[in-house]
C-alpha cells in the first residue's frame, strides 16, 4: 500500500463520506485548510495512484474515490484509524456491534462531549437481529451518563434516505465515526455513490 500523508488521508475520507457534495481542488482546499496548489498536487497524486477518478465539468475538475478494490481496502483502513481515535466509543458499544451490520456514532457527542445532550447512534440492522439489538441498546442505556438516541435502519432504508437527500442521514455519514462494520459501510456507501 502506498504511504499517504495525513492531508491525503483526510482528502480521501472527505471525498468518500461527502456523497452529496462535488469537490474540486478549490473547494476541497477550504475544507482541508490547505492551499489550493497543495490540494491540487495531492488530488493528482491520489488520482495517479488509482485511488481517485476525476471528471471535468466546465473548467473545473471534480474528484471522487475510484471503485477499485485497493481503494475500498484503503478506505476501510482509514475508517478503522478514525475509530481508533474514538476508542472509548468503540469499547462502549462493543456488545451491540456484532449484532449490527455497522454502527455510526454522530452528532454533538463528537463535537463536545460535556455539552452534548445525548449520544446519537445509527444502527444498521443485520438480518433478523432487530430484537437482540434493541435489547442490547436498552441494557446499554442504563449504563450511560447521557440518553442514547438510537436510530435503527436496514441497509436499504439508509440507502433510500441517502438517495433522497435526508439531511440528518447525510450529516451522520459525512461527520460520523464508523465504530464497527467498516467493510460493510464502505460497500454500502460505494453503492449509493455509484447511483
Let me know: does 122 contact 153? Beta carbons within 8 Å.
Answer: yes
Q: Terminus-to-terminus CA distance in the chain, angstroms?
A: 28
Give percent of the chain above pLDDT 90. Answer: 89
Q: Which fold has domain 6-65?
A: Arc Repressor Mutant, subunit A (1.10.10)
C-alpha cell at 97: 456491534
Q: How does the average pLDDT of the chain come out, rounded? A: 93
pLDDT at position 52 is 96
Distance, CA of 115 to CA of 112 (rounded, Å): 6
Residue 153 has pLDDT above 90, yes or no: yes
Residue 124 has pLDDT above 90, yes or no: yes
**Residues 12-63 pLDDT 10s:** 999 999 999 999 999 999 999 999 999 999 999 999 999 999 999 999 999 9
pLDDT band at 128 (very low <50, low <70, confident <90, very high): confident
User: Which has the closest alpha carbon to 193: 16, 14, 12?
Assistant: 16
Let me know: does 123 contact 148? Beta carbons within 8 Å.
Answer: no
The answer to whether the 6-65 and 72-193 domains have the same CATH topology is no
- Domain locations in the chain as residue ranges: 6-65, 72-193
pLDDT at position 3 is 86
**Top-tier CATH class for 72-193:** alpha beta
Region for residue 58 given its phi and psi (left: phi exceeds 0; alpha: psi -120 to 50; beta: otherwise): left
* Strand pairing category for 177-180 and 100-106: antiparallel
pLDDT at position 191 is 86
C-alpha cell at 13: 475520507
pLDDT at position 2 is 66
More confident site: 146 or 128: 146
Residue 125 has pLDDT above 90, yes or no: yes
pLDDT at position 90 is 96
Give percent of the chain above pLDDT 70. Answer: 98
pTM: 0.91
Amino acid at each position: 500500500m502506498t504511504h499517504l500523508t495525513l492531508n491525503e488521508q483526510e482528502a480521501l475520507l472527505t471525498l468518500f463520506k461527502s456523497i452529496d457534495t462535488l469537490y474540486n481542488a478549490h473547494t476541497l482546499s477550504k475544507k482541508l485548510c490547505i492551499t489550493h496548489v497543495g490540494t491540487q498536487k495531492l488530488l493528482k497524486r491520489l488520482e495517479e495512484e488509482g485511488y481517485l477518478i476525476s471528471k471535468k465539468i466546465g473548467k473545473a475538475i471534480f474528484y471522487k474515490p475510484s471503485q477499485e478494490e485497493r481503494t475500498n481496502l484503503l478506505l476501510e483502513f482509514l475508517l478503522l484509524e478514525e475509530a481508533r481515535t474514538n476508542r472509548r466509543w468503540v469499547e462502549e458499544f462493543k456488545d451491540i456491534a456484532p449484532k449490527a451490520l455497522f454502527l455510526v456514532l454522530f452528532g454533538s457527542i463528537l463535537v463536545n462531549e460535556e455539552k452534548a445532550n445525548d449520544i446519537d447512534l445509527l444502527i444498521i440492522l443485520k438480518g433478523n437481529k432487530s430484537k437482540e439489538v434493541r435489547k442490547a441498546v436498552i441494557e446499554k442505556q442504563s449504563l450511560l451518563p447521557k440518553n442514547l438516541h438510537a436510530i435503527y435502519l436496514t441497509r436499504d432504508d439508509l440507502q433510500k434516505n441517502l438517495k433522497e437527500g435526508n439531511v440528518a442521514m447525510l450529516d451522520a455519514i459525512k461527520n460520523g465515526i464508523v465504530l464497527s462494520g467498516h467493510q460493510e459501510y464502505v460497500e454500502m456507501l460505494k453503492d449509493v455513490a455509484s447511483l
